[in-house]
């Protein structure tokens, strides 16, 4: 059995398992942590088609009574209406306060199923089983759950730390090259804000090293979450590097034109431009970051006809703008980051126009 990574978030502690053939062990791993036996496995149609039988079989063999609930893939499923429909299905299946949820899929499912677990009977345990690279290195850890509204992304949500995270790297074999690439945007982000050594290694990345790379990213996020689990000190806000502009680009593209990691890549480029002005990031370090994004075939410029003004307009929906004040993460050098207090909306506008 692989050695788990321990995550401490406030008064809660949970383990993250990263390895191969872990879906077959889902039942015993969950059974060792949770007492409940009736559960809902919430997934999307694509993931369920590939892997649901394995997880359901493992849970059943461990004495659980799982109900599989699937939704269509994509951000369109991450709504209050869908969350309510899932809750209705869980009620019909007999889930109660002693039951638990298995969030089985990528970041959208992790957010949606985690939110359902947070509100069902005022909160039942959630096991995160991420099946995309992006979810395994980032979104499955840290307890952020949410659904989208017409006004913006993740505006309705709850803090709900998982009881356990099971990351089976074998699930990544079913991802498209584009889906895999977007996961590397979060990995590069972690390297820029916290780990210069990992940044250097990524320049000659060997796919054989992927499990170890995923573990290292989990360790980075776990350390930041442990230092500031509810974003009260500013430490956890560092994880938002590139996300201010990235989320605005997603919204401007109506969540169709760019995947999250692709929009994040563009947001990182914009954040680097602002960092040169406000954090004295050396231009050659900015170039190294952009070159690494390109190495993983991530976008670094917007299409000429993309509505840049809509990107700027979308900023006002960003949760990180508190009381109308800009909270923007900058990097003074690769491997470090901090919250800047002097970034202006004009800085951001110029960075967006330059993309």
Alpha helix ranges (H) inside 195-259: 196-202, 210-227, 243-252
Q: How many residues in the chain? A: 355
8 is a catalytic site residue: no
Both tokens of 247, joined, read: 């989320």
278 is a catalytic site residue: no
CB 24 within 8 A of CB 31: no
CB 150 within 8 A of CB 125: no
The single residue of 240, 250, 262, 327 carrying the catalytic annotation is 240
201 is a catalytic site residue: no
Q: Which residues contact 213 (CB under 8 A, 6 or more apart)?
A: 137, 187, 198, 205
Closest CA to 148 of 103, 112, 117: 112
260 is a catalytic site residue: yes
247 is a catalytic site residue: yes
The single residue of 82, 160, 161, 186 carrying the catalytic annotation is 186
6 is a catalytic site residue: no
Rounded-to-integer distance, Cα 37 and Cα 67, Å: 11
The single residue of 82, 216, 260, 327 carrying the catalytic annotation is 260
The single residue of 122, 304, 305, 322 carrying the catalytic annotation is 122
The single residue of 181, 236, 278, 327 carrying the catalytic annotation is 236
The single residue of 78, 144, 215, 216 carrying the catalytic annotation is 144
The single residue of 82, 216, 247, 278 carrying the catalytic annotation is 247
DSSP label at 75? Answer: G
Rounded-to-integer distance, Cα 118 and Cα 124, Å: 6
221 is a catalytic site residue: yes
CA 63, 67, 72, 76 dihedral sign is negative
Q: Which residues make beta-bridge pairs with 6?
A: 15
Q: Which residues make beta-bridge pairs with 18?
A: 167
12 is a catalytic site residue: no
Taking residue 228's Cβ as centre, other Cβ atoms within 10 Å add up to 17
The single residue of 216, 221, 251, 278 carrying the catalytic annotation is 221
The single residue of 190, 215, 243, 327 carrying the catalytic annotation is 243
243 is a catalytic site residue: yes
144 is a catalytic site residue: yes
The single residue of 231, 235, 257, 350 carrying the catalytic annotation is 231
Residues annotated catalytic, as ranges? 122, 144, 186, 221, 231, 236, 240, 243, 247, 260
């Amino acid at each position: 059995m692989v050695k788990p990574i321990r995550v401490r978030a406030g008064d809660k502690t949970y383990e993250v398992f990263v390895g191969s053939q872990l879906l077959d062990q889902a039942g015993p791993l969950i059974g060792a942590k949770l007492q409940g036996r009736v559960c809902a496995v919430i997934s999307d149609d694509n993931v369920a088609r590939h892997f649901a039988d394995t997880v359901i079989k493992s849970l059943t063999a461990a004495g659980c009574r799982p109900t599989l609930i699937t939704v269509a893939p994509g951000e369109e499923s991450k709504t209050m209406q869908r969350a309510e429909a899932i809750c209705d299905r869980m009620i019909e299946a007999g889930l109660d306060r002693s039951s638990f949820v298995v969030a089985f899929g990528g970041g959208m499912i992790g957010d949606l199923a985690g939110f359902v677990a947070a509100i069902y009977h005022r909160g039942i345990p959630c096991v995160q089983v991420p099946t995309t690279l992006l979810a395994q290195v980032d979104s499955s850890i840290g307890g952020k759950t949410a659904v989208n509204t017409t006004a913006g992304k993740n505006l309705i949500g709850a803090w709900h730390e998982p009881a356990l995270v099971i990351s089976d790297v074998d699930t990544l074999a079913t991802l498209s090259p584009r889906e895999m690439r977007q996961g590397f945007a979060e990995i590069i982000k972690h390297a820029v804000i916290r780990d210069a050594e990992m940044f250097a290694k990524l320049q000659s990345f060997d796919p054989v090293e992927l499990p170890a790379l995923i573990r290292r990213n989990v360790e980075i996020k776990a350390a930041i979450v442990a230092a500031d689990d509810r974003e009260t000190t500013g430490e956890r806000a560092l994880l938002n590097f590139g996300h201010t502009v990235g989320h605005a680009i997603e919204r401007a593209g109506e969540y169709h034109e760019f995947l999250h990691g692709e929009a994040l890549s563009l947001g990182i480029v914009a954040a680097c431009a602002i960092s040169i002005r406000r954090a004295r990031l050396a231009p050659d370090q900015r170039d190294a970051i952009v070159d690494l994004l390109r190495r993983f075939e991530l976008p670094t410029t917007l299409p000429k006809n993309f509505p840049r003004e809509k990107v700027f307009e979308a900023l006002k929906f960003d949760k990180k703008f508190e009381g109308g004040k800009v909270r923007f993460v900058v990097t003074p050098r690769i491997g470090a980051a901090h919250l800047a207090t002097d970034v202006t909306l004009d800085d951001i506008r110029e960075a967006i126009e330059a993309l």
